[in-house]
């Protein structure tokens, strides 16, 4: 039939059935004048008391946790050292890698997963499911659902939700065990307030996905949602940076002034910082003085600063503004950024290998020798960390024996021959069986990623709100890269002061702990989406499109109207309530259905507009009330409350005080 599309499904009449035509009822219409009241919910202040706050930084390349007892909030403890760390890489965090048995049961996480997988016989390894760097999937999947898959190294698929839940459960067990050992008594999960950090640029479905995974891992439950805070990574960094004293940071712009080249002092500063961290590693306890750091005390009401959070997967740019007296933070400009993390450098290395050895070989090698491929990437990782702008001697990368061996079988000639033939002149074969890369070759691998970051910052600095930024804080794991530091300094050093916390890889983790201890510090965010409900309005000739006209009982209605609660990019205080009042379009109605919609665009008129998505439904049952008690114009009050990643909606029938609640859901519609 003409209605059938390719694929054999019938085409829907429109993406959403209009409220007027569904269920045979006429839906709701705004009570005029519609009022919006913005008031924070009084119940929010009655916080549960927790003994400890545990923050989990679930990173793309590495993860970790830190905690603080609410009795001594100035002490932040970073998790125990991990077994089997890599040489030359600080082990404050563990790689975000997970291993499942051939039966798909959780086996191990982090270094342990990597080592076990590596020791398996290659044929056996193919049965096991090994996953790494899987967090990026949440950023790049446009239509994320609870059923989204991830692909393991052996090509098999697993549910993303399961993997994220396993990882969080692992952190839960590790943290509770460490807390119990330290306290000398069993620590219960109910004693813990959990904080999980996510990139600010993530879309709502990805943020909600993380909360769902945490519920599945047993960190909190929908009934006890306050036990879990989803914190935005740059916000956490911001909170930590406020506390920095001068000896805890490296200021790039100062470095160049004292007659040194900036890379010398930065290098020296980092070497000192690393040594300082290494000496304190045994204690793993950081004192956060209850002061405002010196840099911060220079900021005045209304001053702005940028946090550039560059991690393994994404770069997140957030502009904050200071609000005195308490120094609350206000997000000034909605977070931007993109997939420009240090992973980009790994991809460039992979492209280089494809160029030398052929894409067909690299693809095969990854599938047939997954553990050796992991080895190769670990070897690359430690050399990647040695890249610096002023480096003159080459970087050697050991090729695993099975790479050399498998290549000879695959192609019939040696790796050495391939390198000679490839004309990639800055990569040579050293007699010790290593790939020898010139510093220029390594720097070239960084270039596309760093260029994207600088480009993105340039765009941001063009915005009028951002023109007068005082500081730029460079945080996140990738911020340790001298090449990135130098590029940021060269591009923006004359516009603002560029500051890097010494323990830059742990900045977000520590800030997340501070946030969990005092969630009220973040006061205002930008709403990432426009929210509203579908209503009927009185039809106005000439203003409303004729195809939206619906005549019921002699009244002319315009259907599918998007009645806006809040616009994308509007400032929202956390805990803020927005109220609107509606009345049933038909007084005799017994069930009221209120559909909630969202859009990334600010300018939305109808729920049928492109990009509008349904994200919640409120059904209010009006049966069982005698008509005598009900006023002629019945008022249904609808409230939306904006929390961290959870947005709650409520509808109340004013006449009977009946109410229904729903959480906004981006994954199941």
Could you read off the pLDDT of 556-565 as tens digits, one per residue?
Answer: 889 999 999 8
pLDDT at 561: 92
Encode pLDDT of 337-346 as tens digits: 667 778 889 9
- The long-range contacts involving 124-127, CB below 8 angstroms and separated by at least 24 positions, are 125/154, 125/370, 125/371, 126/154, 126/370, 127/102, 127/154
Q: Which of 103-107, 166-170, 215-219, 547-551 has the lowest mean pLDDT?
A: 547-551
Quick check: 441 pLDDT over 70? Answer: yes
Structure tokens at 206: 């990805």
pLDDT computed for residue 172 by the predictor? 95
SS3 of 46-75: CCCCCCEEEEEECCCCEEEEEEEECCCCCE
Distance (Å, rounded) from C-alpha 93 to C-alpha 58? 10
Helices (H), strands (E): how many in the chain? 17, 34
Per-residue pLDDT tens for 46-60?
456 899 999 998 888
For residue 322, the cross-strand partners are 329
Query: Rounded to two decimals, what is the model's pTM?
Result: 0.77
Q: What pLDDT score was predicted for residue 292?
A: 58
List, for residues 250-293, the tens digit of each pLDDT value: 777 654 433 334 444 455 555 555 555 454 444 455 565 555 56
Note the CATH architecture for domain 52-232. Answer: 2-Layer Sandwich (3.30)
- Condensed to tens digits (0 to 9), the pLDDT of residues 454-484 reads 988 888 888 887 778 888 888 888 888 889 9
Q: What is the model's pLDDT at position 254?
A: 57
pLDDT at 253: 61
Q: Which CATH code of 3.30.420.40, 3.40.50.150, 3.40.50.300, 2.60.40.2140 fits the domain covering 234-253+279-337+464-524? A: 3.30.420.40
Write down the architecture of domain 529-663 according to CATH.
Answer: Sandwich (2.60)
Domain borders along the chain are 52-232, 234-253+279-337+464-524, 343-444, 529-663
What is the 3 state secondary structure string of 81-141? CCCCCCCCCCCCCEECEEEECCCCCEEEEHHHHHHHHHHCCHHHHCCCEEEECCCHHHHHC
Provide the 10 A C-beta neighbour count for residue 205.
22
Condensed to tens digits (0 to 9), the pLDDT of residues 514-557 reads: 989 988 777 777 788 899 999 988 888 888 898 998 888 788 88
Cα(370)–Cα(113) distance, integer angstroms = 13
Residue 26 has pLDDT above 80, yes or no: no
pLDDT the model gives residue 333: 62
- 3-class SS of residue 581: strand
pLDDT digits (tens, 9 = 90+) for 67-125: 999 888 888 888 865 555 544 445 567 888 999 999 999 999 988 898 898 888 878 88
Q: Do domains 52-232 and 234-253+279-337+464-524 have the same CATH topology?
A: yes
């Amino acid at each position: 039939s003409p209605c059938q599309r390719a694929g054999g499904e019938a085409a829907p009449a429109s993406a959403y059935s209009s409220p007027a035509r569904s269920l045979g009822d006429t839906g709701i219409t705004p009570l005029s004048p519609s009022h919006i009241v913005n008031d924070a919910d009084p119940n929010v202040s009655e916080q549960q008391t927790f003994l400890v706050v545990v923050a989990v930084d679930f990173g793309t390349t590495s993860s970790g946790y830190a905690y603080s007892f609410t009795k001594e909030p100035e002490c932040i403890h970073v998790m125990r050292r991990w077994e089997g760390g890599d040489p030359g890489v600080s082990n404050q965090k563990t790689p975000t890698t997970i291993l499942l048995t051939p039966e798909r049961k959780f086996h191990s996480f982090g270094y342990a997963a990597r080592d076990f997988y590596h020791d398996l016989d290659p044929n056996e390894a193919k049965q096991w499911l090994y996953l790494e760097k899987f967090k990026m999937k949440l950023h790049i999947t446009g239509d994320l659902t609870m059923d989204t898959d991830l692909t393991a190294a052996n090509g098999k698929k697993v549910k993303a939700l399961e993997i994220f839940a396993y990882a969080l459960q692992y952190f839960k067990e590790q943290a509770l065990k460490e807390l119990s050992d330290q306290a000398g008594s069993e620590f219960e999960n109910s004693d813990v307030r959990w904080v999980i950090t996510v990139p600010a640029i993530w879309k709502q479905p990805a943020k909600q996905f993380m909360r769902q995974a945490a519920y599945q891992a047993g960190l909190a439950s929908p009934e006890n949602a306050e036990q879990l805070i989803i914190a935005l990574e740059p916000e956490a960094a911001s909170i930590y940076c406020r506390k920095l004293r001068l000896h805890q940071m490296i200021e790039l712009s100062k470095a160049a002034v004292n007659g040194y080249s900036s890379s010398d002092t930065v290098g020296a500063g980092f070497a000192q910082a690393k040594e300082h961290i290494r000496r304190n590693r045994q204690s793993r306890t950081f004192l956060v003085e209850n002061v405002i750091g010196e840099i911060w005390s220079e900021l005045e009401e209304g001053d702005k600063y940028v946090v550039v959070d560059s991690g393994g997967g994404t770069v997140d740019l957030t502009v904050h503004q200071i609000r005195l007296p308490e120094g609350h933070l206000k997000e000034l400009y909605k977070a931007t950024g993109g997939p420009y993390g240090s992973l980009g450098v790994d991809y460039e290395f992979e492209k280089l290998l494809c160029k030398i050895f052929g894409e067909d070989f690299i693809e095969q090698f990854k599938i047939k020798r997954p553990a050796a491929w992991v080895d190769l990437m670990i070897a690359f990782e430690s050399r990647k960390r040695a890249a610096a702008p002023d480096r003159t001697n080459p970087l050697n990368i050991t090729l695993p024996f099975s790479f050399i061996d498998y290549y000879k079988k695959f192609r019939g000639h040696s790796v050495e021959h391939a390198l000679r033939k490839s004309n990639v002149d800055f990569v040579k074969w050293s007699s010790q069986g290593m790939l020898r890369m010139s510093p220029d070759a390594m720097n070239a691998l960084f270039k596309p990623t760093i260029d994207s970051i600088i480009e993105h910052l340039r765009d941001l600095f063009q915005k009028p709100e951002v023109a007068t930024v005082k500081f730029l804080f460079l945080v996140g794991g990738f911020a340790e890269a001298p090449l990135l530091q130098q590029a940021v300094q060269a591009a923006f050093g004359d516009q603002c002061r560029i500051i890097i916390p010494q323990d830059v890889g742990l900045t977000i983790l520590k800030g997340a702990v501070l946030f969990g201890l005092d969630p009220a510090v973040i006061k205002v965010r930008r709403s990432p989406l426009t929210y509203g409900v579908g209503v009927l309005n009185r039809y106005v000739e000439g203003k409303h499109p004729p195809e939206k006209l619906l005549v019921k009982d002699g009244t002319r209605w315009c259907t599918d109207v998007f009645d806006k609660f809040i616009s994308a990019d509007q400032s929202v205080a956390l805990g803020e309530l927005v109220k609107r009042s509606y009345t049933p379009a038909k007084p005799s109605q017994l069930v009221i259905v209120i559909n909630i919609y969202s859009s990334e665009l600010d300018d939305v008129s109808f729920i049928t507009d492109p990009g509008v998505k349904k994200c919640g439904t409120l059904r209010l049952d009006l049966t069982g009330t005698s008509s005598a008690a009900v006023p002629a114009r019945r008022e249904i009050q609808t409230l939306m409350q904006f929390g961290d990643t959870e947005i709650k909606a409520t509808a109340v029938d004013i006449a009977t005080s009946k109410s229904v609640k729903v959480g906004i859901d981006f994954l199941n519609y």
